Amino acid sequence: MQVTMAVNGEEVTHDVEPRLLLVHFLRDVLGLTGTHWGCDTSNCGTCVVWMDGEPVKSCTVLTPMAGGRVVRTVEDLEQDGELDPIQQGFIQEHGLQCGFCTPGMMMTCRWLLDQLPDPSEDDIRVAISGQICRCTGYENIVRATRWAAEHEAAVAVGNGSGEPEPQDAEVSA
Ligand code: FES
Ligand code: FES
């Protein structure tokens, strides 16, 4: 069947098997391999993307269910060559080891920061509670998210616009 959706700001249309999972559509049809596929049991969360602005485990979504929706993947975090503050936070606070869980973790933590700009450590732990880091790097994932929150807040105050400027955030680290 034919499915059309917006992925990272671009409309895409493809003929797909109705049973094709969104994670496989993104990776195998669109070549967006930043989204990982880890468990097949809806447990690990490395496949998290946004659908209509909400994080979803893309291994639990049939591709036709995403028809007409807006999908955002980890590839869209970087904008105009500038890393998102959550990406910078993962770098600054060593939020990844093997990196397998990282795309899903960053998509969830970016979403959390958009809902709650100053999340507590508990808020962050609750947000990622449906995801697994096999390297058990949770402590640094929490620190990375706090780093992004603090730098976005500092930049918002600094430029007076309320808009974060990731490049400035990195300079002020
Ligand atoms: S691959 Fe989707 S939850 Fe593990
Ligand atoms: S960094 Fe290895 S699974 Fe999380």
Report DSSP letters for the chain, one per residue: -EEEEEETTEEEEEE--TT-BHHHIIIIIS--TTS----SSS-S-TTEEEETTEEEEGGGSBGGGGTT-EEE-GGGTSBTTB--HHHHHHHHTT--SS-SSHHHHHHHHHHHHHH-SS--HHHHHHHTTT---TT--HHHHHHHHHHHHHHHHHHHHHHSSS---HHHHHHT-
pLDDT above 60 for 23: yes
pLDDT for 157: 77
Q: Is 144 a pocket residue for ligand 2 (Cβ < 6 Å)?
A: no
pTM score, whole prediction: 0.90
39-97: pLDDT as tens digits: 979 999 999 999 999 999 999 999 999 999 999 999 999 999 999 999 999 999 999 99
128-173: pLDDT as tens digits: 999 999 999 999 999 999 999 999 988 877 755 544 444 443 433 3
Q: Is 100 a pocket residue for ligand 1 (Cβ < 6 Å)?
A: no
Give the mean model confidence (pLDDT) for residues 24-42.
96
State which ligand 1 atom lies nearest to the alpha carbon of 37.
1
